[in-house]
Every structure is written in structure tokens, then in C-alpha cells.
């Protein structure tokens, strides 16, 4: 199998990133692994899609750190590859990281992924679904039973009314954001709510969401593969994220701390409810963020934390993910265009 992992910037990847876990697992299975930044993608005159990519070290790789040593730095060998050379393109970049300084790159990977479909490669997650599933509006398409009540608006008055209607305690965050950035809890004292709304609205639309008291105890990220909770030998690929000191956010970038999770029946019920839509939309790999008995977010393109989940649970979660990708390549070789990419992306 020949696989290209598209990230924001190869040289800023870290050993503990989920992408590095996946790439290292693929190398150990003997696959040809390439990594390229979203800025290194190309569309060639004959219609092929490709990139100036870095080649992974092969099956002899000893660790995730070893994988990055092989692909990072000025001396790392570059190679121009195209869809003729590949079986799989996996979009693992975070569009939200490109919003401010490189807005042009935000959707670039998705657009190149769509073009690559014309040349017989498997593209994960399905790029036409990702074009709208990367924003939090996608979350609002799931059943009301699994998510907090929320509105999406740029109106201060609508948010003020929502605040009054929901116990004067809500969460305000950008529609397009990640890592807990610009996420605010607006409580009883809403004297600074107008300033918060003005700040968040500079980046676009705002999500105002009812506050879940259980959020003060942290959240759990549960990984989904092919629409099912990822499990290895009785352990689920999940991490409990405790809130940072003096904060209500559990994002690792906001000071959250990882802990061994207790994946209970309620969490698995939520996963079972959202799974069919993930399958329908071709979302092969996703991260569910769960607070109490509700989902608060679904991460569809660059969900992180797989390394922490493996370390805490004492399991290798990278290899079963690659197993699932291998099966897709096998099906593609057998059936060709008779199975569409959106179907193949979540075919177990």
C-alpha cells in the first residue's frame, strides 16, 4: 500500500501526534508512507494530483520519533509523487490552523482531495463531505438527543436572549475553531458578553451553546473508525481530559490533563447514534468529545489524542486503523469504480 498523509506542515509535526502514530504503524506494516504539507500539493497539466512529499523510513522504523527524524528537516529527501504512485490520500491537516495567516490554504487539501478521486485513489475522509463537515455546523445535523441546545449567529441580541433562556450560563465559541481557542463561559455576570461576542465574531459565525455542568469534570474523547468506537482487546481508544486549573476547558492546548477514561454504556450509546451518519457521509476516522450524556463536538478531519489513548490504555491503536485502510485498498483493487469513495471510506 502506498499512502500520502497530508498535514499542515511536515516540519512542525510532533512524535505524539495522532498522524505520527498512524504513519509509524503503516511503516511497520511494510507500506510506503509519504507525508506532505498542504502547501506542497500540486495539480499537474495532465490532471493528476500530487505533492512534493517526504518518504517514511520503511519497516525498520523503531519509534514515532524515528519516523519524524526521517521526514523532517532540510536534509530529508523530497520526492514528487502523484496519484499514479498512490493508493490512499489521507487528509490529516487542520483547516482551522490556516484561517488567519494562510486563509487560502484552509480548503486547499479538501479541493485537491476531490480532484484526486478522478484518478482511482482512496481519499480519507471523503473530501466532498469534509467540505462542510469541518465546521461545527455539521454537529447540528445530528439528533437533538445527543447534543446540547445551541444557536449559530453573529447577532449579540440573539446570544443575549439565548443566555437568558438557558439559565444565564452558556458557552460562546467560534463556528470554525479548534483547541479551545476563543471559547468563553458566559455566566450570571454577563457584563463582558458584548466584548466576547465582538471578539469571537471577528473570525466569522458564533456558536452559543447551553453549558453542561458536567464539563467542569472534563470530557472524554472517543475515537470512531468506520462508524464504530475503536476497540482493541477490550479497551476503547479514548482519553479522559480533565479541565485545566481555573478553567472550564479540557483541551490539551488549554491546559487540560489526560487520564484513563471510563467508557460506559452511555458513551457507547452516543457512538451508536452518531455512527450511521458518519458512515453515510464517508467519515472514516473521527473523534467524539463527550460531556456527561451529551456530545459537545465531532472532530472529522484531524482528531488528535490517539497517542495518549494508546499510552493510557496500554494498547496499540495505530495498527488496527491501518488494518482498516488496508481493507479499503483491497476492496478498491477488486471493485474499482463500482464502489464509490464515499461508500469505501467507511466500508469495514
Are 34 and 40 in contact by the 8 Å Cβ rule? The answer is no
Exposed (0-12), middle (13-18) or buried (19+): which is 121, by Cβ within 10 Å?
A: buried
The active-site residue, picked from 173, 294, 315, 328, is 173
Strand-pairing partners, residue 215, are: none
pLDDT value, residue 97: 81
Separation between Cα atoms, residue 295 and residue 270, nearest integer Å: 7
> What pLDDT band is residue 102 in, cutting at 50, 70 and 90?
confident
Q: Is residue 158 annotated as part of the catalytic site, yes or no?
A: no
The label of the residue with cell 479497551 reads: 235
> What pLDDT band is residue 281 in, cutting at 50, 70 and 90?
very high
Mean pLDDT of 168-184: 83
Structural domains of the chain ordered from first start: 2-124 (3.40.50.20), 136-143+214-314 (3.30.470.20), 149-211 (3.30.1490.20)
Q: Is residue 248 pLDDT above 70, yes or no?
A: no
pTM: 0.91
The pair phi, psi for residue 127, each rounded to 5°, is -70, -25
The label of the residue with cell 473530501 reads: 127
> What pLDDT band is residue 254 in, cutting at 50, 70 and 90?
very low
Q: Is residue 289 annotated as part of the catalytic site, yes or no?
A: yes
Q: Is residue 192 annotated as part of the catalytic site, yes or no?
A: no
Q: Is residue 173 annotated as part of the catalytic site, yes or no?
A: yes
Q: Is residue 249 annotated as part of the catalytic site, yes or no?
A: yes
Q: What is the pLDDT of residues 316-325, one digit of tens each?
A: 999 999 999 9
Grid cell locating 169: 450560563
The active-site residue, picked from 136, 315, 328, 332, is 136
pLDDT top residue among 250 and 288:
288
Q: Is residue 198 annotated as part of the catalytic site, yes or no?
A: no
The active-site residue, picked from 221, 235, 240, 315, is 221
Mean pLDDT of 320-340: 97
pLDDT top residue among 183 and 255:
183
pLDDT value, residue 285: 98
Q: Residue 30 CB: number of other CB atoms within 10 A?
A: 10
Q: What is the pLDDT of residues 107-130, one digit of tens each?
A: 899 999 999 999 999 999 999 999
pLDDT value, residue 251: 52
The active-site residue, picked from 28, 147, 241, 328, is 241
The active-site residue, picked from 28, 54, 240, 249, is 249
The dihedral over CA atoms of 214, 219, 220, 225, expressed in degrees to the nearest 10, equals 110
Q: Which of 109-123, 166-180, 286-300 has the lowest mean pLDDT?
A: 166-180
The active-site residue, picked from 8, 125, 299, 307, is 299
Q: Is residue 313 pLDDT above 80, yes or no?
A: yes
The active-site residue, picked from 297, 328, 332, 341, is 297
DSSP 255-298: T-EEE-----HHHHHHHHHHHHHHHHTT--EEEEEEETTEEEEE
Q: What is the pLDDT of residues 3-60, one digit of tens each?
A: 999 999 999 999 999 999 999 999 999 999 999 999 999 999 999 999 999 999 989 9
Q: Is residue 103 pLDDT above 80, yes or no?
A: no
pLDDT value, residue 185: 92
Q: Is residue 252 pLDDT above 60, yes or no?
A: no
pLDDT value, residue 107: 87
Amino acid at each position: 500500500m502506498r499512502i500520502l498523509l497530508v498535514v499542515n506542515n511536515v516540519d512542525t509535526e510532533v512524535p505524539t501526534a495522532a498522524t505520527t502514530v498512524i504513519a509509524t504503524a503503516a511503516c511497520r506494516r511494510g507500506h510506503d508512507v509519504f507525508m506532505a504539507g498542504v502547501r506542497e500539493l500540486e495539480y499537474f497539466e495532465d490532471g493528476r494530483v500530487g505533492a512534493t512529499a517526504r518518504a517514511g523510513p520503511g519497516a525498520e522504523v523503531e519509534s514515532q520519533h524515528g519516523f519524524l527524524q526521517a521526514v523532517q528537516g532540510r536534509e530529508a529527501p523530497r520526492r514528487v509523487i502523484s496519484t499514479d504512485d498512490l493508493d490512499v490520500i489521507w487528509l490529516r491537516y487542520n483547516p482551522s490552523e490556516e484561517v488567519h495567516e494562510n486563509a487560502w490554504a484552509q480548503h486547499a487539501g479538501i479541493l485537491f482531495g476531490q480532484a484526486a478521486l478522478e484518478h482511482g485513489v482512496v481519499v480519507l475522509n471523503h473530501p466532498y463531505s469534509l467540505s462542510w463537515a469541518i465546521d461545527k455546523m455539521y454537529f447540528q445535523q445530528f439528533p437533538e438527543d445527543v447534543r446540547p441546545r445551541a444557536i449559530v449567529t453573529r447577532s449579540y441580541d440573539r446570544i443575549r436572549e439565548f443566555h437568558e433562556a438557558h439559565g444565564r450560563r452558556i458557552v460562546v465559541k467560534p463556528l470554525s475553531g479548534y483547541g479551545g481557542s476563543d471559547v468563553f463561559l458566559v455566566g450570571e455576570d454577563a457584563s463582558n458578553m458584548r466584548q466576547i461576542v465582538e471578539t469571537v465574531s471577528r473570525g466569522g459565525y458564533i456558536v452559543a451553546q447551553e453549558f453542561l455542568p458536567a464539563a467542569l469534570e472534563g470530557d472524554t474523547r472517543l475515537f470512531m473508525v468506520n462508524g464504530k468506537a475503536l476497540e482493541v482487546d477490550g479497551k476503547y481508544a479514548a482519553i479522559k481530559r480533565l479541565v485545566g486549573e481555573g478553567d472550564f476547558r479540557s483541551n490539551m492546548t488549554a491546559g487540560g490533563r489526560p487520564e484513563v477514561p471510563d467508557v460506559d454504556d452511555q458513551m457507547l450509546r452516543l457512538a451508536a447514534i452518531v455512527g450511521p451518519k458518519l458512515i453515510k457521509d464517508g467519515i472514516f476516522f473521527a473523534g467524539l468529545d463527550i460531556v456527561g450524556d451529551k456530545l459537545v463536538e465531532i472532530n472529522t478531519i484531524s482528531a488528535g489524542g490517539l497517542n495518549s489513548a494508546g499510552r493510557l490504555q496500554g494498547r496499540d491503536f495505530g495498527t488496527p486503523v491501518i488494518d482498516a485502510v488496508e481493507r479499503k485498498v483491497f476492496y478498491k483493487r477488486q471493485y474499482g469504480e463500482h464502489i464509490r469513495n464515499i461508500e469505501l471510506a467507511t466500508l469495514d
